[in-house]
Structure 1
């Protein structure tokens, strides 16, 4: 499979660094719908503009660069242990690995049991190299199909094999893990709930239980283990499931979050046509 890559390195004027903790700063606003932020080892942020079929990069020094176009309609992103960008590319229901310098693309998976995935949405990759992927069905205008062939489920990609580990969801979406990688959080946005699993040493998931009565689009955790859910702004929960605070974001929908910057000091927020950052004061 060949992909023609249009690599543009347009640099845009962006917002200055936040001066005060707790201040929400708008970085840019010229997108259609932002999603999937993830930080690399330098603290640079990659994120997607899914309707426009682009992946962007916002460097820790403040440069905003168009990284990859077309991007397979990439949605959620993660970084693997080799420093490659991993994308939920739902144009053809695939998981991609993308080299950060050459933009070389490797298609890892696109089917399960001989059937096309629904449309991989978000993922988390453990330090041992296990991928955990949510696969809901959101009808896309660029698809010829009009129905799913598989249940909306959570998958694990391990040592080159895709395993369906839980199909008991209405619509799984956001996914994140605790800092010690002992717990995995998965949001069921279709049922307005978020669940938590225990992660065994071999990567298997056990003891699924309710974390809170709130669903989420994308999500992340911080160094203290607090859990960040999205939708109407950002909701921050303690590791015990108590609501800590609500970050209001002045857009219709807040899609995803991640920590980045030179010291991982900023929370980056992809929200509708914009991207923001905030220096947490909690």
Structure 2
């Protein structure tokens, strides 16, 4: 499938982007001069979980159709990478270049070798009970994995309620032997992303419409929970300036202080996730309902 461009949509959204810029962001614009939203493809059911591979390609999920799709940074085209995919949702690449997937079908966390598509199940329960449904994840410098575990009832599950008492945030140790709860006081944790220096973790509590920042400790635990903004998020990312990108009604960007500096409107009912990709990591890749978009930026990602 080859990427397509919608001139009318780009024109209208381009105007909206300019209107949405704050004074601060106009002085140092995040969006590249003259850039417009481009539709990569609109042939999916619900897109989620974009993750950048080491070469700048983006892998994302078409969750209802049980497949992982790859966007090629070299020629701006998309192709199916894996189908079926364990109903994968959130994705992220580990420090060795393996693709990690929140495999929702059996509430597991997968490690996928992209060269041969061999799957290793890293987690399939917590203390003998099914996880709610791993949703989103982030990998620290040591290789430890933080992931959120909200409960969203799926029509392909036999169960109809949680086995665990809470919807929590977990940490899987770098050696993949120990899993621990690092946040247990959120309503419904969803989006998660860590800073490039490995000091701050952002977690969106979509159930309480809030996003928090935490200090990441050397043992993987979290402390110093601080309200970042009164807005939840589905997926999220960071740029090299430390700005935080939240999703929902388009993409909403906040600076390090939690001040809103930009809104990127998307002509969809819901924007699920966002990340940076491309060879220079200056392409913002956005998943929204049945469509994926790209937008050229002045800032870059932090991987």
Report the TM range for the smaller structure's normalisation: over 0.9
Work out whether 1:14 is the aligned partner of 2:27: no
Aligned match for 2:52, one of 33, 36, 39: 39
| Alpha-carbon contact 2:183-2:222 (below 8 Å) kept | no
Q: What is the match of residue 155 of structure 1?
A: 170
| Alpha-carbon contact 2:282-2:298 (below 8 Å) kept | no
Give the secondary-structure state (helix, strand or coil) at the position aligned to 2:105: coil
Aligned match for 2:73, one of 55, 60, 65: 60
Question: What does the per-residue CA deviation read over 1:177-212, in whole Å, with 9 as the maximum and x for residues that have no partner?
Answer: 112121000000000000000112332211011000
Q: What is the match of residue 202 of structure 1?
A: 219
- Whole-Å separation in 1 of the counterparts to 2:37 and 2:196: 24
Aligned match for 1:114, one of 89, 103, 128: 128
| Alpha-carbon contact 1:125-1:132 (below 8 Å) kept | yes
Which portions of structure 1, spanning 4 or more consecutive aligned residues, are displaced by more than 4 angstroms?
18-21
Question: What does the per-residue CA deviation read over 1:60-85, in whole Å, with 9 as the maximum and x for residues that have no partner?
Answer: 11231100000000000000111000
| Alpha-carbon contact 1:179-1:222 (below 8 Å) kept | no
Alignment of 1:162-173 (within 5 A): 162-173=179-190
Question: How much has 1:13 moved relative to structure 2?
Answer: 1.4
Structure 1 stretches lacking a partner, 5+ long:
1-11
Q: What is the match of residue 93 of structure 1?
A: 107
Question: What does the per-residue CA deviation read over 1:153-185, in whole Å, with 9 as the maximum and x for residues that have no partner?
Answer: 000000221111111111100000112121000
Give the secondary-structure state (helix, strand or coil) at the position aligned to 1:82: coil
Q: What is the match of residue 233 of structure 1?
A: 250
Structure 2 stretches lacking a partner, 5+ long:
11-31
Work out whether 1:50 is the aligned partner of 2:39: no
- Whole-Å separation in 2 of the counterparts to 1:196 and 1:275: 28
| Alpha-carbon contact 1:25-1:276 (below 8 Å) kept | yes
| Alpha-carbon contact 1:38-1:79 (below 8 Å) kept | yes
Q: Which moved more, 1:68-77 or 1:175-184?
A: 175-184
TM-score (norm 2): 0.87
Q: What is the match of residue 30 of structure 1?
A: 43
Query: CA 1:136–1:232 in 2, change beyond 3 Å: closer, same or farther?
Result: same
Work out whether 1:260 is the aligned partner of 2:249: no
- Whole-Å separation in 2 of the counterparts to 1:130 and 1:280: 30
Q: What is the match of residue 250 of structure 1?
A: 267
Give the secondary-structure state (helix, strand or coil) at the position aligned to 1:51: helix
- Whole-Å separation in 2 of the counterparts to 1:96 and 1:221: 24
Work out whether 1:180 is the aligned partner of 2:202: no
Q: What is the match of residue 189 of structure 1?
A: 206
Give the secondary-structure state (helix, strand or coil) at the position aligned to 1:137: coil
- Whole-Å separation in 2 of the counterparts to 1:258 and 1:96: 20
- Whole-Å separation in 2 of the counterparts to 1:189 and 1:216: 5
TM-score (norm 1): 0.93
